Amino acid sequence: MKKLTREDLLSLEDYTEQRESFRREVMEHRRERRVGVGPHVSLLFEDRKTILYQAQEMLRAEKIFEKEGIEAELATYNPLIPDGKNLKATMMIEYEDVAERRAALKRLGGVEHKVWIASAGSDRCRAIADEDLERSTGERTSAVHFLRFEPDRALREAFRNGGAIALGVDHANYHETLDPLPAELARQLSRDFDPES
């Protein structure tokens, strides 16, 4: 999947004019790429469109319009775009009650390393988490993590051929499996892989 360049971005003025319609389009796209794994963990599988939206929003919020600032933002966001052989996701741990969330984050240290995806013909592909910075300590974890999955050829083929895909978390304090992955999401994710990969 092609990385973003400055040419892909709208100016702050043009983005402001188009923001509402683009936002509606991206929110629908994000709904198609988001999935819950049990009641408290969800994954948003990122792609070029979701990251373009995040980059445009950050440039707008920070009023960044100079070349160096734009390039710095692109350097931050481009690693979140799949490269044709992998999947990238933002993992969110969600509890409505603040006290319950605090307690859960203390129990769920390291949960980001316990996320997996698999098909009947493949081994479990475990997420590689938080490559930019560690978000778990000995005392607690963060509510947001960035994951990368590097599926083997058998799993990529299962995605492309419409095979049943399972997604799970096998942490000692949070053990949930989604089996199978919703068909529309699996179709969306199959497009993240290059045809020849």
Residue 153 inside a domain? The answer is yes
Instruction: Choose among 163, 195, 197, 157: nearest CA to 180.
Output: 163
What pLDDT was estimated at residue 4?
95
pLDDT tens column, 97-111 = 999 999 999 999 999
Domain count, the chain: 1
Q: Please say if the pLDDT value at position 197 is more than 90.
A: no
Residue 195 inside a domain? The answer is no
114 φ, ψ (degrees, to nearest 5): -110, 15
Alpha helices in 47-152 (DSSP H): 48-62, 67-77, 98-107
What pLDDT was estimated at residue 130?
82
Reported pTM: 0.90
Structure tokens that stand for 143 in this block: 């509510």
Residue 197 inside a domain? The answer is no
For residue 48, how many other CB atoms are within 10 A of its CB?
17
Contacts of 148 (CB under 8 A, 6+ apart): 86, 87, 88, 89, 127, 128, 129, 131
Residue 56 inside a domain? The answer is yes
Q: What range defines the domain where residue 149 resides?
A: 6-190
